[in-house]
């Protein structure tokens, strides 16, 4: 099939080989709604039914839609129905597993759960146990939508400037690569700067986004006073001022995200929200 439109994170329109178009609903998963008036906090353990909780879910609904859009829109995918599940849902949508390649062993449905964009939707289908386990793991590790915390009372600096302590800060981010982000990974990068007067040894330090993609600084990496280092999403050869994550897809959401820098003890050194 070809994905002709992504409705939201768990629903899309696909063109069949005969040219007809079907609306498909991803089996066994549910992404948040994108409107604060339509989200259901009671379905998301740990997210309160408050203004902030509803905003959190709606924002993750948008993130789930972008995640699906970036990976599926206009692409050829492979779909599979489940003999243990209904063929169509309440609204007449075809209930399916979606695979990004013919040889893929992991469905896009399960990837949504693993990366914290969706919850397990309790219904009858053959992958119930695996999908429940995927959600449990994401929840236990506070991945994505499951990483909700009540808003801090201390205001952060305007303009995305860091809120942390210490001499290493998140100085800047270039989240919107030229062209297709997933095809230009080294035009997506974060810059870190040592604003102190002492060298900082960063072995064991990590960088993460709101979806819990995590990069670990290489062993022995040291940032000298006044120096900066750029972390590129793609691949390359590490140097004193350039590091490469080695991801095969974009990390930073163009519509907004948070860069979190933690030290070797797991303590937050700085954050940068844009």
pLDDT in tens, 140-190: 999 999 999 977 644 343 334 444 434 899 989 999 999 999 999 999 999
Same domain, 129 and 220: no
CATH number of the domain that residue 204 is part of: 2.60.40.1260
User: If we measure between CA atoms, which residue out of 131, 138, 126, 147 comes closest to residue 210?
Assistant: 147
Same domain, 85 and 174: no
Instruction: Report the predicted TM-score, pTM, of the whole model to 2 decimal places.
Output: 0.57
In a domain, 153, yes or no: no
The residue to which tokens 């072995």 are assigned: 203
| 11 pLDDT higher than 60 | yes
Q: Give, in order, the Cα–Cα distances in Å from 184 to each of 208, 236, 253.
A: 20, 13, 14
In a domain, 151, yes or no: no
Same domain, 63 and 176: no
Of 119, 146, 173, the residue at which a domain comes to its end is 146
Spot the catalytic one: 25, 54, 66, 119: 25
Same domain, 6 and 139: yes
**15: annotated active-site residue:** no
pLDDT in tens, 27-83: 999 999 999 889 999 999 999 998 889 999 999 999 999 999 999 999 999 999 999
Spot the catalytic one: 33, 175, 188, 193: 33
**93: annotated active-site residue:** yes
The confidence score (pLDDT) of residue 152 equals 60
Instruction: Give CA–CA dist 11/159, Å, rounded.
Output: 34
The 8-class DSSP code of residue 183 comes to G
The total domain count for the chain is 2
**Position 197 confidence tier, pLDDT thresholds 50, 70, 90:** confident
More confident residue, 2 or 273: 2
The residue-averaged pLDDT of 186-212 equals 93
Residues in contact with 166: Cβ distance below 8 Å, sequence separation at least 6, in sequence order: 196, 200, 263, 269, 270
Instruction: Give CA–CA dist 74/23, Å, rounded.
Output: 15
**135: annotated active-site residue:** no
User: 56 φ, ψ to 5°?
Assistant: -60, -50
In a domain, 47, yes or no: yes
Q: Which domain does 24 fall in, by range?
A: 2-146
Spot the catalytic one: 54, 66, 71, 93: 93
């Amino acid at each position: 099939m070809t994905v002709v439109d992504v409705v939201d994170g768990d629903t899309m329109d696909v063109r069949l080989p005969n040219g007809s178009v079907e609306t498909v609903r991803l089996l066994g998963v549910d992404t948040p709604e994108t409107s604060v008036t339509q989200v259901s906090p009671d379905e998301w353990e740990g997210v309160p039914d408050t203004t902030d909780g509803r905003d959190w879910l709606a924002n993750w609904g948008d993130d789930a839609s972008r995640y699906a859009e970036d990976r599926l829109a206009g692409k050829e995918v492979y779909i599979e129905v489940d003999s243990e599940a209904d063929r169509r849902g309440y609204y007449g949508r075809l209930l399916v597993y979606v695979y990004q390649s013919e040889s893929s062993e992991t469905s896009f449905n399960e990837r949504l759960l693993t990366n914290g964009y969706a919850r397990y939707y309790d219904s009858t289908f053959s992958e119930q146990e695996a999908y429940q386990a995927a959600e449990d793991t994401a929840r236990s590790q506070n991945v994505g939508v499951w990483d909700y915390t009540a808003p801090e009372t201390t205001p952060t600096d305007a303009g995305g400037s860091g809120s942390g302590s210490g001499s290493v800060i998140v100085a800047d981010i270039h989240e919107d690569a030229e062209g297709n982000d997933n095809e230009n990974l080294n035009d997506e990068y974060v810059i870190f700067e040592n604003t102190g007067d002492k060298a900082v040894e960063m072995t064991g330090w990590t960088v993460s986004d709101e979806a819990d993609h995590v990069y670990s600084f290489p062993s022995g990496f040291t940032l000298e006073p006044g120096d900066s280092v750029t972390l590129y999403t793609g691949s390359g050869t590490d140097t004193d001022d350039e590091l490469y994550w080695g991801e095969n897809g974009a990390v930073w959401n163009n519509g907004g995200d948070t860069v979190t820098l933690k030290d070797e003890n797991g303590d937050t050194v700085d954050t940068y929200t844009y």
